[in-house]
């Protein structure tokens, strides 16, 4: 069944505690977005009939208990095949708005609900949120967005604005410079000011900071800053084809996902938004400071 309305949050589950946390996050988002939740479990093609019956029973119990507890519309789906293929395929089939996945600690992203989950994060057509534990409060009050001053900035800002409006969040935009060149710093601060003006005009609270530190690692600075402001979410941009784009280096993105204790939301640049994002780039970067690929 394919739906045209993007009102479903897909939650892959392997029945572990972090998968339960992912479901809690999804329910929270669904309540505020007025969305539905769909649980997904993937079985291998060689799974026995007894195991399939066990999975079906577990999925029914989890769905019914959480729907009764929260009042959220929760359904489930059991698919057969590889984790990588079926999570992406199911998200496309359902026209899902988000995928929310549990990550099993700081052991490397290959441990997220299976060995192919990192590919899901990189290649999914919809945003993927990875979580490790429950929120200590409701909502996402402070969203951190690291930017590297390149052309995909507009993609990330657009999506952050939409997300922040739902949660009445404050967006914290940070740029990390390894050079202490005063001219370069002034240029980036000017760009950040224009981005701030754009976000404020969209009706979203925003703060921005350029961190200048020789030899700084982007992932360490992002995580340090997130802890300092008690952030609830880090938003990064990935591109399809299984790698993170130049918004941040591949290693930086992997490290942030791996090390962060708070949820990390990855969004995929959408070719359909190219014209809109080009206009935004022209608005907040009239002098061409943004780095081109």
Give the residue-averaged pLDDT of 68-87.
92
- Quick check: is 292 in a domain? no
The answer to whether residue 93 scores a pLDDT higher than 60 is yes
- From the list 36, 261, 251, 13, the residue with the least C-alpha distance to 117 is 13
Contacts of 288 (CB under 8 A, 6+ apart): none
* Least confident piece of the model among 136-145, 193-202, 237-246, 252-261: 237-246
The answer to whether residue 63 scores a pLDDT higher than 60 is yes
pLDDT at 230: 92
pLDDT at 217: 79
Contacts of 199 (CB under 8 A, 6+ apart): 157, 160, 161, 171, 173, 206
Instruction: Say if pTM beats, i.e. exceeds, 0.75.
Output: yes
**Dihedral angle sign, alpha carbons of residues 204, 233, 28, 128:** positive
CATH number at residue 186: 3.40.50.620
Range of the domain at 40: 8-131
Give the residue-averaged pLDDT of 117-144.
76
SS3 of 249, please? coil
The residue among 106, 131, 156 that closes a domain is 131
Distance (Å, rounded) from C-alpha 122 to C-alpha 173?
A: 22
Give the residue-averaged pLDDT of 46-72.
96
Model confidence at 143, pLDDT cuts 50, 70, 90, reads: very high
Which range has the top average pLDDT, 21-35, 65-79, 142-156, 216-230? 65-79
Model confidence at 286, pLDDT cuts 50, 70, 90, reads: very low
- Quick check: is 34 in a domain? yes
- Quick check: is 99 in a domain? yes
- Quick check: is 41 in a domain? yes
pLDDT at 228: 94
- Quick check: is 248 in a domain? yes
DSSP letters spanning 102-134: E--SSS-GGGSSSTTHHHHHHH-SS-EEEESS-
Report whether 174 contacts 147 (CB < 8 A). Answer: yes
Distance (Å, rounded) from C-alpha 13 to C-alpha 20?
A: 8
Report whether 111 contacts 104 (CB < 8 A). Answer: yes
- From the list 94, 98, 127, the residue with the least C-alpha distance to 28 is 98
The residue among 80, 99, 131 that closes a domain is 131
The answer to whether residues 183 and 264 belong to one domain is yes
The answer to whether residues 193 and 155 belong to one domain is yes
The answer to whether residues 13 and 84 belong to one domain is yes
The answer to whether residues 189 and 262 belong to one domain is yes
The answer to whether residues 173 and 268 belong to one domain is yes
The answer to whether residue 277 scores a pLDDT higher than 50 is no
Q: What is the mean pLDDT of the chain?
A: 77
pLDDT at 180: 63
Give the residue-averaged pLDDT of 270-288.
41
The residue among 73, 99, 131 that closes a domain is 131
- From the list 130, 284, 81, 76, the residue with the least C-alpha distance to 199 is 284
Give the residue-averaged pLDDT of 128-147.
80
Model confidence at 259, pLDDT cuts 50, 70, 90, reads: confident
The answer to whether residues 149 and 275 belong to one domain is yes
The CA-atom distances, in angstroms, between 201 and each of 42, 140, 150, 222 are 44, 20, 22, 25
The answer to whether residues 146 and 231 belong to one domain is yes
At 159-187, the pLDDT tens digits run: 778 778 877 889 998 887 776 666 667 77
Total structural domains within the chain: 2
């Amino acid at each position: 069944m394919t739906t045209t309305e993007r009102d479903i949050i897909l939650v892959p589950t392997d029945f572990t505690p972090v998968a339960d946390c992912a479901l809690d996050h999804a329910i929270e988002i669904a309540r505020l977005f007025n969305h539905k939740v769909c649980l997904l479990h993937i079985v291998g093609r060689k799974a026995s009939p007894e195991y399939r019956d066990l999975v079906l029973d577990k999925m029914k119990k989890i769905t019914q208990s959480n729907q009764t507890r929260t009042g959220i519309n929760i359904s489930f789906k059991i698919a057969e095949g590889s984790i990588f293929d079926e999570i992406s395929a199911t998200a496309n089939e359902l026209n899902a708005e988000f995928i929310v996945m549990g990550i099993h600690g700081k052991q490397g992203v290959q441990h997220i609900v299976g060995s192919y989950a990192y590919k899901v994060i990189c290649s999914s057509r919809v945003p993927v949120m990875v979580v490790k534990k429950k929120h200590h409060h409701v909502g996402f009050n402070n969203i951190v967005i690291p930017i590297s001053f390149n052309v995909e900035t507009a993609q990330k800002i657009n999506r952050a604005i939409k997300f922040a409006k739902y949660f009445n969040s404050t967006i914290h935009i940070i740029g990390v410079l390894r050079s202490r060149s005063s001219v370069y710093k002034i240029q980036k601060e000017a760009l950040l000011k224009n981005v701030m003006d754009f976000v404020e005009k969209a009706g979203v609270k925003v703060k921005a900071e350029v961190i200048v530190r020789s030899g700084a690692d982007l992932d360490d600075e992002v995580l340090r800053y997130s802890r300092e402001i008690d952030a609830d979410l880090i938003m990064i941009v990935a591109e399809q084809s299984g790698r993170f784009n130049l918004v941040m280096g591949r290693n930086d993105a992997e490290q942030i996902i791996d090390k962060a204790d708070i949820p990390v939301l990855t969004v995929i640049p959408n070719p359909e938004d190219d014209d809109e994002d080009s206009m935004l780039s022209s608005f907040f970067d009239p002098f061409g400071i943004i780095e081109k690929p």
